[in-house]
Structure 1
Amino acid sequence: MKISVDTGSCVSSGQCVLLAPGTFDQDEEDGTVVLLAEEPSDGEEAVRQAELTCPAAAIRLSGT
């Protein structure tokens, strides 16, 4: 599984960070998603939940 994020569509809700803090973070200035690892470090299920929970659909998983 490979992870990508679209910071332009991110609405800074932070759900991804709550669900998978080893994979996602938030930019200190505007709160947009920061991808810490292109491969899930929190486990695939946590990253899948982050993708499904993102209100802006800014997280994309491929190779699943």
Structure 2
Amino acid sequence: MTHIVLHPAPSPTPISVGELLPWTFFMGLLLLMALYFVGAEQGATSLIQGDRVHEFVHDGRHLLGFPCH
């Protein structure tokens, strides 16, 4: 004889704005940094000397429509 046992499904707990705010700020900061390095890290506005960052993001720059030459 088999016994069927039904367990109630756990209900999801909502995430509060206070818990979500630090992650939203962190992700926004990462996205702004990525946008800077892809879009503006070259020439006169360069924070890092040399062309390593420029060459690393070169194809992504053209893919997103940023001119660099």
- Give your verdict on TM over 0.5: no
Structure with the bigger percentage of strand:
1
TM-score (norm 2): 0.28
Higher gyration radius (CA): 2
TM-score (norm 1): 0.29
Relative contact order higher in (CA < 8 Å, ≥ 6 apart): 1
Structure with the bigger percentage of helix:
2
